[in-house]
Amino acid sequence: MNNATTASNIYALSFNQAANLINAIGRHTTVLLQADMGTGKSSIINIIALMNPTYKPVYLDCTTLVDSADLFMVKYSDDGKTFKTVPLEDLGMHLPDQPIILMLDEIGKCNRSVILACNRIMLERKHSGYELHPDSIVFATTNKGTEGVGDLLPAHTRNRITVVNMRKPDNMEWIEWGINNGIDPILLGFCKEHPELFHSFEQYENPDENPYIFHPRSARAAFWTPRSGEKSSDILKLRHLLDDTQLTAALIGTIGDRTALDLAAFISLADKVPTRDQIETDPMNAPIPDSPAAVCMVVYRALATIERKWVDPWLTYMNRLSKEAQGLFVNGVRAPQYSRRDYVVQNKKFQDWCMANNYMFSADK
């Protein structure tokens, strides 16, 4: 597909780059964020809210709006001689003294009359006598038009906004996120082995070249996206309540046939992984998995669950692993967003390991 080589795709932004762009210019220019389905477009408002703690986040799901009357209603004016328009409370336009972060989510899928009603808000931050606080941030999201799921905007609307593409995370970016957000370690290990889960359909002319992901030329009912991957993690955490058939059926209905069957085969590696209790109580004798994939599973589980009290035994066990596996753990700790970083970097054994292995960073930062 030629779409993969267009300038807008070459300059596609990461999740954090998109959030920073919106935070930088969103007070003056409405950014429309285009991205593959299930890649976290809707959650970007949470990141921008963290950047602006005094702002009120306002999330508007455009797919639930039938027409412009869901945004603005007409009522009699106070003198009863004329009509006036009043906005939907969820739009936040009744808060002129409060800066807001307004996200028009999935605007490309809504009724044309809803888009037209949003035009002046996106361009001028005004509508029908109401005006947003001048410091308010406005942005919108939509799927890529090439996905063929109905996300289209009129040309005059497109000319009022700045459209940027947000790329999918790669597998290592999603793993870093998953470590900090409770994703099942087995799934993290699976993603390490399958980077193609995070490819865009625009990289493939033939959908059969990547059977895991959505492709507009394929009839797959279910497929892998970061969103469906997170849902499959929730299922994996409850696998002790399910037999193999139930588990596989649930995964097929969530992430598609091929992904689910390959993941089910990968789950069998979990039987070869030492328990956390084995590592904590006897790190010198806890078994080392034969499979590199199972070793990754052990490392990701440690990153996701480690506590200060068992850093020492983990590091003793880790030193029995390959240098590649040790580096995988240390690189996870070094990630700026790693939520358990202080538990590890303040540990004397970890500092000694860094010195011995010539890692060029300060372990105590």
Whether residue 185 contacts residue 300, with contact meaning beta carbons closer than 8 Å, is answered with yes
pLDDT score, position 359: 57
DSSP structure class, residue 272? G
Measure CA 313 to chain center. Answer: 33
252 CB-side CA count, 13 A: 9
Whether residue 176 contacts residue 339, with contact meaning beta carbons closer than 8 Å, is answered with no
DSSP structure class, residue 339? T
Whether residue 116 contacts residue 68, with contact meaning beta carbons closer than 8 Å, is answered with yes
Which uninterrupted H or E stretch holds 60? Answer: strand 56-61
Whether residue 255 contacts residue 261, with contact meaning beta carbons closer than 8 Å, is answered with no
**Which has the closest alpha carbon to 297: 339, 236, 253?**
236
User: CA-to-CA distance for 197 and 215, rounded, in angstroms?
Assistant: 12
Give the tens place of pLDDT for each residue, 325-358: 999 999 999 888 888 889 999 999 999 998 888 7
| Beta strands per DSSP E along 273-333 | none
Residues facing 162 on adjacent strands: 31
pLDDT score, position 48: 96
Backbone phi and psi for residue 70, each to the nearest 5 degrees, phi listed first: -80, -10
Residue pLDDT tens, the chain, 365 long: 444 447 777 888 999 999 999 999 999 999 999 999 899 888 999 999 999 999 999 998 888 888 777 777 777 777 777 777 777 777 777 878 889 999 999 888 888 888 888 888 889 888 877 888 999 999 999 988 666 554 567 788 888 899 999 999 999 999 999 999 999 999 999 999 899 999 988 888 899 999 999 998 888 999 999 999 999 999 999 999 999 999 999 999 999 999 999 999 898 877 778 888 899 999 999 999 988 888 998 999 999 888 888 999 999 999 999 999 999 999 999 888 888 889 999 999 999 998 888 754 545 44
pLDDT score, position 360: 44
Tell me the domains of the chain and their CATH numbers.
Answer: 2-166 (3.40.50.300), 171-356 (no CATH)
pLDDT score, position 151: 55
Whether residue 316 contacts residue 283, with contact meaning beta carbons closer than 8 Å, is answered with yes
**Which has the closest alpha carbon to 212: 237, 230, 229?**
229
pLDDT score, position 68: 77
pLDDT score, position 286: 93
Tokens 């003793």 found at = 316
